[in-house]
Amino acid sequence: MNIKANDPFLMSWLEVPANSDFPVQNIPFGIFKYDNEEPRPASRIGDHVIDLSALADFGYFDKLEIEDLNVFYKPVLNDLFALGKPMVRKIRNRLSDLFEDNNEELKNDHEARNNALFRIDEVQMMMPVEVGDYTDFYSSKEHATNVGTMFRDPDNALLPNWKHIPVGYHGRSSSIVVSGTNIHRPKGQIMPPESDQPIFSPTRLMDFELEMAFVTCKETQLGDSIPVEEAEDAIIGLVLFNDLSARDIQKWEYVPLGPFLSKNFGSVISPWIVTLDAFEPFRVNGPKQDPPVLPYLKSEGKKSFDINLEVYLEAENQPEHRVCRSNFKYMYWNMAQQLAHQSVNGCNIRVGDMYASGTISGPTPESYGSMLELSWKGTKPITLPDGSRRKFINDNDAIIMRGYAEKDGLRIGFGESKTKILPAK
């Protein structure tokens, strides 16, 4: 697909620092807040935040024939995304034009410029969408195999359905929060080892899960299904997703219906929704699926994306330390298959829904996407720069996730998702 805003040779008249995740080819969407003003939609180039409501004020979106320009003034992006992917693509192309080096339209309009541009360090980033529904998949073969090996049977690590169904569960959207929000250690029921009675306690096995999540921009009716070949038309973009997990609570509660309170006390996303369009240059083939999947899940072409993912642990008063390096391309099931499966039974899809990938582990131990796997159930602690060791996450440790795609000098990224684990309340 040829998308004008993706031209790798474009330069912007706004300064973009070397290695920035936000060159003019990114043009993500987010919600920012300045001072005591209302939160409103924005994009970003380099370290500049672009107030879309100000550009709308000055008439810069007038030619796009958007029925209701109020979408640029809302405190969440749901209405803007509800315009649909072709219109969001036009908005992104328009922003690209306006900030392209040779375009003087906005560059010379000092009043509009002064109103529209903020520095990233003078604004606060907010939740970009109101998340209606949230699904968490379990689509990394390496992660499912690692967990199956640790908790069940190394010889039958994957359950019989795993290669036939993109396994997932419905999570809770109320506790999805934006980067910078800190989370208290959850409390709950745990069954201590060598005990036959559960106790009530703060979790002793606090963990992260390195995931990505996609956001939908389409509404379907009950009974409708989204065919796998049309699924990407309903996906507007991606965020980094830290699905915090309490392993001991999880272990005791998850039979027979799956995770419940061990996963819904806080999931932390990166603030910028980077469009699927922006990742077009980074498409790759996914892993070969064997046995063959049912026809409604069969996807053609490159439906996976080569996006580098990293997790850093930052202990109090210590420098951050990388504990994991993985890649989105390792996923066995791609997003189109996940959304086709989600809707195949006629479950309706809404704008702003969030669908997380499941923990993204790769083939090597350094690519494992959770402390559970990195420390192999606590048997191989990780050593931090100050010599202290971690099997799981301590109070006042911060977890930072970063992600970016990079090819031929072009880098498109998310910035970061950061959260600190506070002591139990």
Chain residues in the site for Ca ion (CB under 5 A): 136, 209, 243
Would you call 143 a catalytic residue per the annotation?
yes
Going 127 to 133 to 136 to 137, the CA torsion angle's sign is negative
- Judged by CB, which is closer to Ca ion: 112, or 374? 374
Least distance between Ca ion and beta carbon 339 (Å): 17
Residue nearest to Ca ion (CB): 243
Residue appearing with tokens 């066995």: 332
Nearest approach, Cβ of residue 211 and Ca ion (Å): 6
The smaller minimum CB distance to Ca ion, of residues 96 and 370, is found at 370
Contact 283, 302 (CB under 8 A): yes
Contact 225, 340 (CB under 8 A): yes
DSSP three-state, residue 402: strand
Nearest distance from C-beta of residue 167 to Ca ion, angstroms: 11
Phi, psi of 414 (to 5 degrees): -110, -10
204 contact partners, CB below 8 Å, separation of at least 6: 190, 248, 392
The residue among 136 and 416 lying less far from Ca ion, judged by its C-beta, is: 136
Catalytic residue among 143, 164, 184, 321: 143
The CB-of-179 to Ca ion minimum distance in angstroms stands at 17
- Residue 167 or 307: the one with the smaller Cβ distance to Ca ion is 167
Nearer to Ca ion, 136 or 373 (CB): 136
If one counts every other C-beta atom within 10 angstroms of the C-beta of residue 94, the result is 18
Q: Where are the beta strands (DSSP E) in 114-209?
A: 117-119, 124-126, 134-137, 168-170, 176-178, 183-184, 187-190, 199-202, 206-207
Other C-beta atoms lying within 10 Å of the C-beta of residue 407:
11
How far apart (Å, rounded) are the C-alpha atoms in residues 297 and 293? 6
Taking the complex as a whole, how short is the minimal distance between the CB of residue 140 and Ca ion, in angstroms?
10
Catalytic residues: 143
